[in-house]
């Protein structure tokens, strides 16, 4: 997949320097340095936000064009960019959506590389690999929070991946047995789960307790 969109990165920069306050306000509040992959756009964005913090307002295009602290490559990008800035909040939201997908893609690819490097080691432990995966997926989330989600090594992994990226909890049923829920995420909703144990091992008791816990949890 593509991990860079210079066009939208440039439009985001020009829109930050534009005159539409609703657009500049939305972009300034939402964009982060890791939304920019090209070193020139990242440099310009970082400089814009540093100046805004000091001046208590976003600088204009003319100010940035003559900013001697910007590299010549960054100023040249400002001079030669022919992309029109966003004029509406809807346009700005579309730019943000594209840049966020690019950011997520870069994080996921970086996480993949880290996992592959880890598993090449002779003493590699799959548990460590899953920890790296989980940390990477949490970083890729659209809206990061303190909420965590353990990823199991079995059936709920793909669902957990999608849930992390969509900011939704996976469609699972908590059993009320916290160690199991923390490691496996609960029971998959709509699926068939089999409890296996020797005779008298507590299968029926556990099944009833899971049903009671699920009912109480709503």
The span from the CA of 43 to the CA of 33, in Å, is 9
Where is the domain boundary, 102, 120, 138? 102
Where is the domain boundary, 102, 125, 151? 102
- Whether residue 77 is contained in a domain is answered as yes
Where is the domain boundary, 102, 126, 160? 102
pLDDT single digits (tens) 115-144 = 999 888 888 888 888 888 888 888 877 554
- Whether residue 128 is contained in a domain is answered as no
Domain of residue 207 covers 172-218
pTM of the model: 0.60
- Whether residue 20 is contained in a domain is answered as yes
- Whether residue 68 is contained in a domain is answered as yes
Residue 10, domain CATH? 1.10.860
- Whether residue 137 is contained in a domain is answered as no
- Whether residue 120 is contained in a domain is answered as no
Our count of domains for the chain comes to 2
pLDDT single digits (tens) 72-104 = 999 999 888 888 889 899 999 999 999 998 998
The span from the CA of 171 to the CA of 163, in Å, is 9
């Amino acid at each position: 997949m593509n991990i860079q969109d210079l066009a939208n990165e440039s439009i985001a920069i020009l829109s930050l320097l534009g005159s539409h306050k609703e657009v500049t306000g939305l972009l300034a509040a939402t964009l982060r340095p890791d939304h920019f992959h090209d070193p020139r756009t990242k440099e310009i964005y970082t400089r814009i936000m540093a100046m805004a913090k000091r001046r208590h307002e976003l600088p204009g295009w003319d100010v940035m064009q003559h900013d001697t602290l910007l590299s010549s490559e960054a100023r040249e990008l400002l001079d030669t960019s022919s992309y029109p800035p966003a004029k509406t909040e809807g346009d700005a939201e579309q730019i943000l959506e594209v840049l966020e997908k690019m950011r997520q893609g870069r994080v996921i690819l970086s996480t993949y590389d880290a996992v592959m490097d880890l598993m090449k080691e002779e003493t590699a432990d799959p548990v460590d690999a899953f920890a790296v995966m989980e940390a990477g997926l949490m970083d890729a989330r659209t809206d990061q929070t303190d909420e965590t989600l353990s990823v199991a090594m079995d059936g709920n992994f793909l669902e957990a991946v999608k849930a992390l990226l969509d900011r939704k909890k996976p469609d699972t049923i908590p059993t009320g047995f916290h160690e199991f829920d923390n490691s496996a995420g609960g029971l998959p909703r709509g699926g068939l789960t089999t409890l296996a144990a020797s005779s008298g091992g507590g299968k029926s008791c556990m099944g009833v307790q899971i049903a009671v816990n699920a009912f109480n949890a709503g």
